[in-house]
A and B are shown apart, each in its own frame.
Chain A
Amino acid sequence: MSDIIWLTLFDREEVRDIMRIKLFGGLRQTAGSPEFEVSGATIREALENLCAGNEALRAAIFDGSVLRPHVRVMVNGRDCELESGLETAIFQNDQIAIFPPIAGG
Chain B
Amino acid sequence: MQGWTGKILDINLSNGGIEIVPLDMEMARLFLGGRGLGARLLWDLVGPEVEPLSPENVLIFTTGPITATGSQTSNRFNVSSKSPLTDTILHANSGGWWGMQLKRTGYDALIVRGKAKKPVVIEITPEGVALKDADHLWGKGVFETTEALGQSRNKRNVLCIGPAGENLVRIAAIMNDKERALARGGPGAVMGSKNLKAIVVEGQEKNKPADQDQFKFLLYETGKLLKASPLTSQALPEFGTAVVMNVINEIGALPTRNFQQSQFEDADKISGEAITDNILVKNQACWACPITCTRITKTKSDKEGEGPEFESAWAFGAQCGIDDLDTITEANYLCNDMGLDTISMGNTIGCAMELAEKGLIDDDLSFGQADKLLDLIRDTAYRRGIGGDMAEGSYRMAKKYGAPGLSMSVKKLEMPAYDPRGMQGQGLVFATGNRGACHETGNMLGPEVLALPRLIDRFATQGKAGIVSVHQDSAAVIDSLVYCKFTNLAVAEEFFARTLTAVTGELFTADDLMMVGERVWTLERLYNRREGFTKEDDTLPDRLLNEPVSGGPSEGFTVKLAPMLEEYYAFRGWDKNGVPKPEKLKELSLEFTIEVAYD
Contacts and interface: CB of A to CB of B under 8 A. Distances in A.
Contacts of B450: 70, 72, 102-103
A25 interface: yes
Contact of B244 (A70, A78, A105): A105
B240 to A, nearest CB: 7
Q: Is the interface of B mostly helix, strand, loop or mixed?
A: helix
Q: Which of A77, A100, A101, A105 has the most CB of B within 10 A?
A: A105
B443 A105 contact: yes
A104 B440 CA distance: 11
Interface stretch (B229-237, B568-576, B591-599): B229-237
Interface string A75-98: 011110110000000000000010
Contacts of A25: 235, 238-239, 243, 272-273
A69 B235 CA distance: 13
Nearest to B440: A105
B129 interface: no
Interface string B532-566: 00000000000000000000111000000000000
Interface stretch (B451-459, B505-513, B517-525): B451-459
Contacts of A72: 247, 449-451
A74 B238 CA distance: 22
B401 interface: no
Nearest to A26: B238
B217 interface: no
Nearest to A74: B250
A102 B250 contact: no
Contacts of B311: 105
Interface residues of B, number: 40
B162 to A, nearest CB: 26
Given A70-B231, A74-B250, A104 B243 contact: yes
Interface in A5-59: 22, 24-26, 28, 34
A70 B230 contact: yes
A70 B451 contact: yes
B250 A103 contact: no
A99 interface: yes
B227 to A, nearest CB: 14
B240 A104 contact: yes
A81 B251 CA distance: 14
A105 B234 contact: no
Interface of A: 22, 24-26, 28, 34, 69-70, 72, 74, 76-79, 81-82, 97, 99-105
State the 9 A-B residue pairs at the shortest beta-carbon distance, nearest first.
A77-B553, A104-B241, A101-B230, A103-B231, A104-B244, A102-B235, A77-B251, A102-B243, A105-B445
Given A24-B247, A25-B243, A105-B244, 7 more contacts: A74-B251, A77-B250, A101-B230, A102-B239, A103-B243, A104-B241, A105-B443
